[in-house]
Amino acid sequence: MALGTKVNIRRISHPRYKWLATFQDGGSVRKKYFSTKTGAEDWAAKREQETLDYGTGSSLAEDERSAVLELRSRLSQVGLSVRQALDFAIGHHLQLQSSVPVSQLIEEFQREKRDSGASVRYCQDLRSRLGRFERNFGDRQVSTITSIEIEEWLRKLNLSPVSQNNFRRHLVGLFNSAKRRKYCESNPASDVPNTKTVKKPVGILTPVEAVRLLANASAPIRPVIALGLFAGVRMEELERLQWESVDLANGFVTIPAEQAKSAKRRLIPIRDNLRAWLEKSPDRSGAVWPSKGRDLLRKAKRTTGFAIPSSLTKKEKAAGITLIPWPNNALRHSFASYHLAKFKNASELALEMGHADNNMIFQHYRELVHPSEAEKYWDLVPA
């Protein structure tokens, strides 16, 4: 029944009150007592105005009207109308209903990447990073995750700026996928700023260090080192490379799409010095990566003087041996640096390294080595 706007006031005989106000409320006649006529009239005027404000078709009970009045008062403090608040609340509720747990999103995102042809290496890295995020947020609904939560979580990982930014990059991709699936309205990871990084020159080997490394390497691991130094093949690609992809006759190393980080096939020319090192390998069949390859590579590095300084043994210290840390990704960085210095063709280098454009080439390798050193590097051949 409609809520009436009219309040009737009349004098009554009552031991305590002298005036009575009667009104319609939710289909029933309500009564309110007053000591004075002025008090009854003031209350009646206020109620009639409220009834007009909210519409005569309303069937709100007294406590419901009080809640609406309180809501309108509180919303006015933040500049919102009741309708705006209602639209937001309904939208938020519908978003929660259409969202899913973070663990489900991660599973769907990883499947999406595998189905789109992402490399094994990329998928492994993705699974590792998102697995850490899932341990903290897996049970949460995707739509409830905030930028502040992600930023604080990344900071507590205590990673280097580069590693933290890599985590953020994967999370941006994850929540972009969530937006496409309508699991959330916005991407909270996109609002998290990248951590400022200090760019350091990439670490490379000198021509003397490169030839010493090759000389100190055992025969099974030597082709791996040569392909890293003179073809720039990534270590994870070398671990899966087959000799059938190293075509000495046609002069190219083929990195199959399923082995490449970018999931795209690429060809790398076999230059004269690389050919000389590869031809020294007695067995060029099956896997290029030998049994216990990591141990063999570690031994070659250490014999050349590259290892953690704190790992020096008493015997090595007594012999006056010193060690320096192995530059990160030194084989591939050396290839790129000396390639650009000698051939001066960034586009060609980007293709051989599997980069989408020249930006990374100029960012990391430009003017890193002198052309005279590059000549020495590309002249390195077996004794």
Q: What is the 3-state secondary structure (H, E, C) of 243-263?
A: HHHEECCCCEEEECCCCCCCC
Cβ proximity of 374 and 338 under 8 Å: yes
DSSP 121-190: HHHHHHHHHHHHHHHHHTTSBGGG--HHHHHHHHHHT---HHHHHHHHHHHHHHHHHHHHTTS-SS-GGG
Which residues are within 8 A (CB) of 187 and not within 5 positions of it... i.e. 6 or more apart?
A: 172, 175, 176, 178, 179
Position 90 scores a pLDDT of 64
Positions in the chain whose pLDDT score sits under 50: 1-3, 56-57
pTM greater than 0.85:
no
Position 2 scores a pLDDT of: 43
Closest CA to 269 of 288, 256, 251, 248: 251
Beta strands 28-34 and 19-25, pairing class: antiparallel
pLDDT tens sequence across 169-218: 999 999 999 999 889 889 999 999 998 876 777 899 999 999 999 999 99
Cα(253)–Cα(223) distance, integer angstroms: 12
The pLDDT value given to residue 10: 92
Q: What distances in angstroms separate CA 181 from CA 136, 143, 159, 175, one per listed residue?
A: 22, 11, 31, 10
pLDDT score for 57? 44
Alpha-carbon gap, residue 213 to 335, rounded angstroms? 14
> DSSP secondary-structure letter at 13?
-
The edge-to-edge listing of strands for the beta sheet with 252-255 is 246-247, 252-255, 266-269
SS3 content of the chain, % helix, strand, coil (to 5): 55, 10, 35
Rounded distance between C-alpha atoms, residue 87 and residue 99, angstroms? 18
CA distance 304 to 301: 5
pLDDT for the residue 71: 79
Query: What pLDDT shows up at residue 54?
Result: 61
- Domains of the chain with CATH codes: 8-79 (no CATH), 102-191 (1.10.150.130), 207-378 (1.10.443.10)
Proportion of the chain above pLDDT 70, given as a percent: 91
What was the pLDDT predicted at 1? 36
Which residue type occupies 71? L
| pLDDT attached to residue 356 | 80
Q: What is the pLDDT of residue 335?
A: 96
